Amino acid sequence: MQFKIQKGNGLKGEITVPGDKSISHRAILLASLADGNSEISGFLEGEDCLATIEVFQKMGVNISRREGVFVVEGKGLKGLKDPSGPLNFGNSGTSVRLCSGVLAAQEFSSTLIGDSSLSSRPMTRITEPLGLMGANTSSTEEGTLPIRIEPVDSLKSIKYSLPVPSAQVKSCLLFAGLYSQGITEIEEKIATRDHTERMFEQFGIPIDVSQSKGAKLIKLNKVEAINPTDIDICGDFSSASFFILAALITPNSKLLLKNIGVNPTRIGFLHALRHMGANIELQNEIDSFEPTADILVRTSNLKGITINTNLVANMIDEMPAFFIAASLAEGTTKVKDAKELRTKESDRLQVMSEALDSFGVKFRLEDDGIIINGLGKTGSFKAAEINSHGDHRIAMASSIGSLRSEGETSVLDCFNVNTSFPNFIDVCKEVGINIEKV
């Protein structure tokens, strides 16, 4: 599937985007492990989160959809049943890594598989620490899927300092920690998204979060039972980021994005853009278990900046969109400490650099980042053919970038946009973007 996009002008409108992907996965996991029924509204019905639902349905959890609300009939921490067959996580790194923490503690064996992209992503980052907890896991020699998990008598708690800034690794260990004798302690030197910590609190699971010597320390005790809880999920900031970008780079534009998650560990993109001079206002801020706001964005002249470590971790999924913003800014933008981008649905440093090259942008690619020479406020991209390599975020970032190209741009391999933003094309059309699926 490819998208064809025309140069844009005057984007206008008030829009919502689908539910947050990270929060949707976590809601299904915890609701499935709770004792009783939880109702989840605003759930992201994209392929990644639907894969999580199917995995738990295969393990005997009834999950039904009633008028847009998902009702999960939780089976309790020890109530999952043997899926008798492989569990398929499709394209979803979050799902496979978080579920591994749960599966390591079950009394049945499991085999975890995924699509070709997921099957090439690193899994030793979870199998190693799970092994320290006493879990019995094996993967391929390269440390990739399929993962096989065999039952063990019990898991023991560990103290673990995350070697890479990864919320998926942290969350995998927190899910395993629910079942582990003693107190699981996780140290994070670079803070990553904290949806698991917040969702544990929401489900009444005691979790202690503190700061020590500049690092974050999370402590969790084994739990006996989880209370069912209703969850209302806000719009996904990562999906919103494409429309923030669209409004900023397209002349004469003004967009209002309603009810978007603005968890402080997720909005590095917003801070980076404001540093670059972006005109972005937050309105109607609500401080609930996951803070939300309406985001008003107007066309802006951007200036290049330098970003590294902490900001990178808080905008890791927005980097493809950020590279487009940087390419249209005045001056040079430097991104450092971003090697994690090479372990995503594609090698996002490599694949985005190919996209920028096709757009006619000058840059220097480094092992852990990129230096981009912006084209400036009057600059435009060459009309191009971009290969997204099946990476949803590259497909969407390049499509939005095409709003500033000289003619029609084609973006190839866009089928995986369905993993995170199934109605992307409809929302594009709603704000006046001329885009077609072919």
Catalytic positions are 317
d(CA 343, CA 328): 26
From start to end of 244-403, where are the E strands? 254-261, 279-286, 292-298, 306-307, 332-335, 362-366, 369-373, 385-387
Site residues (CB under 6 A) for ligand S3P, limited to 4-43? 22
Cβ at position 219, least distance to ligand S3P in Å: 19
Q: Which two tokens stand for residue 348?
A: 């996002």
d(CA 235, CA 319): 19
Nearest to ligand S3P of 32, 402 (CB atom): 32
316 is an interface residue for ligand S3P by CB under 6 A: yes
2 is an interface residue for ligand S3P by CB under 6 A: no
Which residues make beta-bridge pairs with 72?
Answer: 38, 63
Nearest to ligand S3P of 104, 249 (CB atom): 104
Site residues (CB under 6 A) for ligand S3P, limited to 185-214? 193
Nearest to ligand S3P of 58, 193 (CB atom): 193
Site residues (CB under 6 A) for ligand S3P, limited to 334-353? 340
Piece in contact with ligand S3P (CB under 6 A), picked from 54-62, 70-78, 167-175, 262-270: 167-175
Compute CA distances 131 → 152, 195, 275, whole Å.
11, 24, 43
Preceding amide of 146 cis, omega within 30: yes
Is residue 380 within 8 A of residue 357, CB to CB? The reply is no
Nearest to ligand S3P of 35, 337 (CB atom): 337
167 is an interface residue for ligand S3P by CB under 6 A: yes
What Rg value do the Cα atoms of the chain yield, rounded? 21
Cβ at position 168, least distance to ligand S3P in Å: 4
Piece in contact with ligand S3P (CB under 6 A), picked from 61-69, 105-113, 165-173, 198-206: 165-173
d(CA 31, CA 72): 6
Q: Which residue is nearest to ligand S3P (CB)?
A: 22
Compute CA distances 377 → 246, 251, 318, 432, whole Å.
14, 10, 21, 21
Site residues (CB under 6 A) for ligand S3P, limited to 87-126? 94
Pairing outcome for strands 183-188 and 215-221: antiparallel
Nearest to ligand S3P of 91, 410 (CB atom): 91
- Among 236, 294, 317, 413, interactor with ligand S3P by CB under 6 A: 317
Q: Would you tell me which residues interact with ligand S3P (CB under 6 A)?
A: 22, 94, 166-168, 171, 193, 316-317, 340
